[in-house]
Chains A and B, each alone.
Chain A
């Protein structure tokens, strides 16, 4: 900026004119830091920016990976049901078999939610006047089904078949967890494709004798010196052979689960 008024007059930053020889650089340096020179703290910017970018760069994939994983999004879904039916009481305490209500698992792809009639087999007399069973009684009288909320809801492009699994030694517990301990049914497994394939590649890690499929508390009997995992592998391999489980090529083929 050209200096107005010659050598003997110059303006300082406050706009006041000063007398005497005017050296702008010197005057500024004495009164305040030069605004055209980076301040000293600017030395901290580079490490701070590098730290933030590297940290953020590490954080983003971690957050996306963990945040979008089926373990985070899918597991733990426990919707409120119209009737607070307790599997812990009916299955765990009373010892009823899964198939008393879910009659179709053996024969059909869909494990049927029982009709109101099944509940009324007992509840026509047991606790018939409980307010918690009111939706049931209403359904029974009107013929309209109770609006149970589906918990384990696979995408529509997956064709899961219950009968193909329970008749081949895959227990309910492998996908549904210990339902016999649940007051409110909750999704325990991710039910993601990677999770399905894990078992489709090595079914022996989960197979068990057919008469133990609905025995949710079953654990493989260990021979001496065997760990539980080894016992499971031994029994699983026996079952894999006995039940003629398909080979890995079939079990991991797209069209086995998708159409």
Chain B
């Protein structure tokens, strides 16, 4: 039996579920992109994922890393009390491992007290033999001074650095703040080089010692630069133009 085909060739509108499915797919594809965009503009307190963890984090100890091997949790070992570093890896040449040069390493020597009994500290005048005061040393001293001393003592050494300013500003919470010394005053200018060196190394009054932060040679460079600052500050007026 024949049937006349009179079907409409026009397609009917696509069914609802097809449109809905496509729309869902279309919006789903934005999800990973949105997540990526968010990760790119925001910060995270979680570290990045590691694809190959044992390559990124190898079972070796590096500087200042934590380690479960030692009881104190440090990978780096503090020096054993009563020992000195010696040999390859030590910061000082072998000849200096005992730091026997009092003038260079300490700036003072211990002498028997004339009154008998204890010992007195005698500061060395001038720079040790192995420190050559030249322009390079002064420039190095300036760099180091502006790094370590400037925060309290100021660029000119007059005790007006930003830490001091801030300590005054937040005064309420500051207990026992002692204003930094004016390093260019007569008292400091009259001190022997060894005394200045020792003050940097071990601190003085309120100031902490910087011996751990600044190597010996750089401490002498700072002393040299300090002398230059004092010279500039206390120069007679007729010389003022010549001293930079």
Chain A residues with Cβ below 8 Å from B45 are 77-80
Contact with A along B32-60 (1 / 0, CB 8 A): 11011001111111111100000111101
**Interface residue total, chain B, C-beta cutoff 8 A:** 63
Q: Is the CB of A94 within 8 A of B166?
A: yes
Check if B244 is an interface residue, CB within 8 A of chain A: no
With both beta carbons as reference points, the residue of chain A lying nearest to B52 in the complex is identified as A155
Residues on A with beta carbons closer than 8 Å to the beta carbon of B21: 48
Q: Which of the 9-residue segments A9-17, A66-74, A228-236, A239-247 touches chain B?
A: A66-74
Q: Are A127 and B170 in contact (CB under 8 A)?
A: yes
Which of B94-102, B192-200, B205-213 is the interface stretch? Answer: B205-213
Contacts of B3 in A (CB 8 A): 26, 29
Report whether B206 and A75 are in contact in the complex, using a CB–CB cutoff of 8 Å. Answer: no
A156 within 8 A of B: yes
B153 to chain A, nearest CB (A): 13
B148 within 8 A of A: yes
Give the residue of A96, A113, A153, A211 whose beta carbon is less than 8 angstroms from that of B151: A96
| Cβ B213 vs Cβ A118 within 8 A | yes
User: What separation, in Å, do the CA atoms of A229 and B176 have in the docked complex?
Assistant: 50
Nearest A-chain residue to B22, judged by Cβ: A48
Given A41-B15, A110-B63, A157-B58, check contact A71 B151 (CB 8 Å).
no
**Which of A73, A108, A109, A147 counts the most chain B CB atoms within 10 A?**
A73
A82 at interface (Cβ–Cβ under 8 A)? Answer: no
Q: Does A129 contact B175, Cβ atoms closer than 8 Å?
A: yes
A117 and B213 alpha carbons, distance in the complex (Å): 10
Interface status of A7 (Cβ within 8 A of chain B)? no
Indicate if the CB atoms of B56 and A156 lie closer than 8 Å.
yes
B39 and A103 contacting across the interface, CB-CB below 8 Å? no
Contacts of B212 in A (CB 8 A): 115, 117
Taking Cβ atoms with an 8 Å cutoff, the residues of A that contact B are 23, 26, 29, 40-41, 43-45, 48, 51-52, 55-56, 59, 62-63, 66-67, 71-80, 93-97, 99-100, 103, 108-110, 112-113, 115, 117-118, 120-122, 124-130, 144-145, 147, 153, 155-157, 184, 186, 211
Give chain B's interface residues, CB within 8 Å of chain A.
1, 3, 11-12, 14-15, 18, 21-22, 25, 29, 32-33, 35-36, 39-49, 55-58, 60, 62-64, 66, 72-74, 143, 146-148, 150-152, 162-163, 166-167, 170, 173-178, 206-208, 210, 212-214
